[in-house]
């Protein structure tokens, strides 16, 4: 293989693929990124055998087409440190040569034929969803998952796929995030049993890798794995095995709950202030809703006390519920600060439900109050 390429273009593609290559592995070949060149296209691929990625870019002039295995750390450092607009890559039996205007590097490289195959997207049945919307779904659900759970399969985001909708749910057993979004089934696509669980790591990779917010994304769930494709990036991942909780049973009935509209920015600021005195041993903050005001108070021995008050539109009996402030802030972080969220509060022993107007619900279980 011998090519001349635009350094900036292949740097971005290489870094996207390199995020999947493991830093350590019994199979040393996996600590590399494979480059395939055909015509004016270059495809970088990487895998840890659970997740795989293919990133295609242009800006390549091939004197001799072919493939190369590139050591992730060294080749990435060369691309970052060189300032040349264009560089030359060449491979032979001695390794990989990288040449700039005033620099030459020779890196040892393994046989490209020994690199594991990373699947290409060849599905005829899939769901289609705009990248901007899929990224929003991921950001609003992935943070609530729990990879350490052994009772349920909580180490991923559960997707329910219907004819015209996608429902995503993430939970760690103490809080639950649910997002609905329009998504079109193509060719009658659906997941096995209507749902699948995609590992959190894979979802976060999708969020980082799909940089064109206007692109249409194709998502295909198969029996044991899933494929997601944008015009430039294809991602493969095994599914999480196991049972997912009956999440609809977790979302409480709001019939007898009080609806309180909360401005996101001021609410987040108040929670951050009240949380200053919390610790690992004393995580809870009391949220006291009373007519016209919300008082947030925290207390930790040897640390101190906090009391933060903010005005709210509420005119019913006082309700105090103790919540983990980190769980509240995790939710508020993924919302625009100038928006308003509706909080449904029933009593001190019931879960608090927060909802937005665009199909996003967040459930937080209360903590036991100190006597």
The CATH architecture annotation of domain 2-114 reads: Roll (3.10)
**Degrees, nearest 5: CA angle 17-218-199:** 60
CATH match for 126-248 among 1.10.3720.10, 3.40.50.300, 2.40.30.10, 3.10.150.10: 3.10.150.10
Tokens of 159: 């997707």
Beta-strand ranges (E) seen in 77-224 are 86-92, 95-99, 104-107, 126-130, 156-161, 165-171, 175-182, 184-186, 195-199, 216-221
- Tell the CATH superfamily of the 253-364 domain: DNA Polymerase III, subunit A, domain 2 (3.10.150.10)
Domain ranges of the chain: 2-114, 126-248, 253-364
195: CB partners within 8 A, 6+ apart: 158, 159, 160, 161, 244
How far is residue 335 CA from its own chain's centroid?
A: 15
Same topology, domains 2-114 and 126-248? Answer is: yes
Cα torsion 126, 128, 129, 130: sign: positive
Show pLDDT as tens, one digit a residue, over the chain (371 residues): 999 999 999 999 999 999 999 998 889 999 999 999 998 899 999 999 999 999 999 889 999 999 999 999 999 999 999 999 999 999 988 899 999 999 999 998 889 999 999 999 999 999 999 999 999 999 999 999 998 887 789 999 999 999 999 999 999 999 999 999 999 999 999 988 889 999 999 999 999 999 988 899 999 999 899 999 999 999 999 999 999 999 999 999 998 999 999 999 999 999 999 999 998 778 899 999 999 999 999 988 888 999 999 999 999 999 999 999 999 999 999 999 999 999 999 999 999 999 999 999 999 999 986 54
């Amino acid at each position: 293989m011998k090519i001349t390429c635009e350094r900036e273009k292949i740097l971005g593609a290489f870094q996207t693929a390199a995020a999947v290559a493991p830093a350590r592995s019994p199979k040393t070949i996996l600590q590399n990124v494979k480059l395939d060149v055909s015509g004016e296209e270059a495809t970088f691929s990487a895998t840890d055998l659970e997740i795989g990625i293919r990133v295609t870019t242009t800006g390549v002039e091939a004197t001799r087409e072919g493939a190369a295995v590139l050591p992730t750390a060294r080749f990435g450092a060369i691309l970052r440190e060189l300032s040349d607009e264009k560089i030359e890559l060449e491979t032979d039996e001695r390794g990989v040569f990288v040449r700039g205007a005033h620099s030459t590097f020779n890196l040892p490289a393994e046989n490209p034929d020994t690199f594991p195959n990373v699947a290409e997207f060849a599905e005829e049945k899939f769901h289609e969803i705009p990248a901007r919307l899929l990224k929003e779904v991921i950001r609003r659900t992935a943070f609530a998952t729990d990879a350490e759970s052994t009772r349920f399969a909580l180490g991923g985001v559960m997707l329910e796929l219907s004819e015209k909708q996608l429902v995503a749910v993430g939970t760690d057993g103490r809080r639950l995030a649910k997002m609905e979004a329009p998504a079109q089934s193509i060719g009658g696509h659906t997941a096995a049993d209507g749902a699948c669980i995609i590992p959190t790591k894979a979802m976060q990779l999708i969020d980082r890798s799909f940089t064109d917010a206007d692109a249409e994304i194709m998502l295909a769930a198969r029996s044991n794995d899933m494929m997601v494709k944008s015009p430039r990036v294809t991602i493969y991942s095994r599914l999480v095995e196991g049972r997912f909780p009956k999440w609809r049973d977790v979302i409480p009935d709001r019939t007898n709950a009080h609806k309180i509209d909360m401005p996101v920015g001021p609410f987040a600021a108040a929670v951050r202030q009240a949380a200053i005195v919390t610790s690992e041993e004393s995580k809870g903050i009391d949220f006291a809703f009373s007519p016209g005001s919300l008082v947030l108070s925290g207390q930790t021995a040897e640390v101190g006390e906090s009391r933060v008050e903010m005005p709210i539109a509420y005119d019913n009996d006082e309700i105090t519920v103790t919540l983990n402030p980190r769980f509240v802030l995790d939710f508020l972080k993924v919302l625009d600060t100038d928006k308003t969220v509706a909080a449904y509060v029933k009593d001190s022993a019931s879960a608090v439900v927060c909802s937005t107007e665009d199909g996003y619900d967040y459930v937080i279980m209360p903590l036991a109050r100190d006597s």
